[in-house]
Amino acid sequence: MKILVTGGAGFIGSNFIRYWLKENQNDKVVNLDKLTYAGHLSSTKDFSKNKNYKFIKGDICDPKVVKKAMKGVDMVVHFAAESHVDRSIADPKVFITTNVLGTHVLLEEALKVKVKRFHHISTDEVFGTLSLNGKEKFTVDTNYDPRSPYSSSKASSDHLVRAYFHTFGLPITITNCANNYGPFQDPEKFITRMITNIIDGQPIPIYGDGKYVRDWLYVEDHCRAIELAVKKGTPGETYLVGGLTEDVNNLKIANLILKIMGKDSSFIKFVKDRPGHDRRYAIDWSQTKNQLGWSPKHQLEDYLETTIKWYQDNQWWWRPLKATAENFYKSTK
């Protein structure tokens, strides 16, 4: 089988290709990535010489590039997206262009070449926010209620992907995932920014009161869920992919990281809140377990420790990216 992975030089995409090449050693993988601020060839270094792997630098918004990349492809796994909420607040237009129009270009070409599966990676942020002290969780029946330009663009792309199933019969599946963590995540992101700041002896910024709750998913668990969705999932279906956490807020995550790294809470610096900040996300992944036989395996505390060690041992990877990340935050003040 030949697979096109879009955004395969990004955090989740590169981890997925690494996972797929290991678990499906006879398959060929084409990686199409524009190499924006979140895509790095250094993330693909360990598998770049694999005989079954090919990299194409290009934009999913360019039909000619997409046509070349999709030649002879059996399946598309679509990660490529602008994905940082703070950046979407600073510049919404690029999120609409890439996440909506780019997805449309891919869908059109997928129809032409008659792919056997088009799998779209999405986010739990499309569902909006849950009450901070409530017990409810997102399910596949939760109404969409996106609050940021990022989540709105992803919601739009979700609807577009489903429309190509209902209108044109394109065999699609969608996964909406929780916040991921693990190796090769850009130091702009919440957990990796904290880890790399602490390594450098710098404070860790926490938005608002720090009581924002997220569902945390180790990236390898996510990759395994995607594999099951494309192999066993029913065309037209959506599957929610969450972690093993129960209402762990950002301040608790910060203190847990500090504890693992042998530091105290003096590193914490509360900063002005993000506009439109969603209070709580929580995923009910029971439908995914029942239909695909998937459940997360990685406990947060254990794999936070694994993740921290990875960043301590692989400073060659993140140090060249750190200045760009911090300069972005300075530019938004």
- How confident is the model over 110-144, as pLDDT tens digits? 999 999 999 999 999 999 999 998 899 999 999 99
Read off the tokens for 312.
């301590």
- Reported as a pLDDT band with limits 50, 70 and 90, residue 271 is very high
The domain 2-180+215-241 is placed in CATH, from the list 3.40.50.720, 3.40.50.1970, 3.30.70.20, 3.90.1200.10, at 3.40.50.720
Give the residue numbers annotated as catalytic, written as ranges: 124-125, 150
Return all residues near 261 (Cβ < 8 A) that are at least 6 apart. 195, 198, 199, 308
Query: In this structure, what token pair is assigned to residue 111?
Result: 């129809």
Q: Which two tokens stand for residue 4?
A: 């096109």
Residue 333 pLDDT more than 70?
no
Q: What is the pLDDT of residues 78-106, one digit of tens each?
A: 999 998 888 999 899 999 999 999 999 99
Q: What is the pLDDT of residue 325?
A: 81
Q: Would you say residue 61 has pLDDT above 70?
A: yes
Tell me the mean pLDDT in the region 201-228: 97
pLDDT of residue 99: 97
Distance CA 119, CA 230 (A): 7
What residue ranges in 189-266 does DSSP mark as E strands? 204-207, 213-214, 216-218, 238-241, 248-249
The CA distance from 127 to 142, in Å, is: 7
- pLDDT, one tens digit per residue, over 142-173 is 999 999 999 999 999 999 999 999 999 999 99
Enter the pTM of the model: 0.96
Burial of 92 (0-12, 13-18, 19+ CB in 10 A): middle
Q: What is the reported pLDDT for 232?
A: 98
Residue 314 main-chain phi, psi, to 5 deg: -125, 50
- Domain boundaries, given as residue ranges, for the chain: 2-180+215-241
Phi-psi region of 138 (alpha: psi -120 to 50; beta: other; left: phi over 0): beta
Whole-number pLDDT of residue 332 = 74
For the chain, the average pLDDT equals 96
Q: Is 141 exposed, middle or buried (0-12, 13-18, 19+ CB in 10 A)?
A: exposed
For residues 326-332, average pLDDT: 77
Token output for 281: 């996300």
**pLDDT given at position 83:** 84
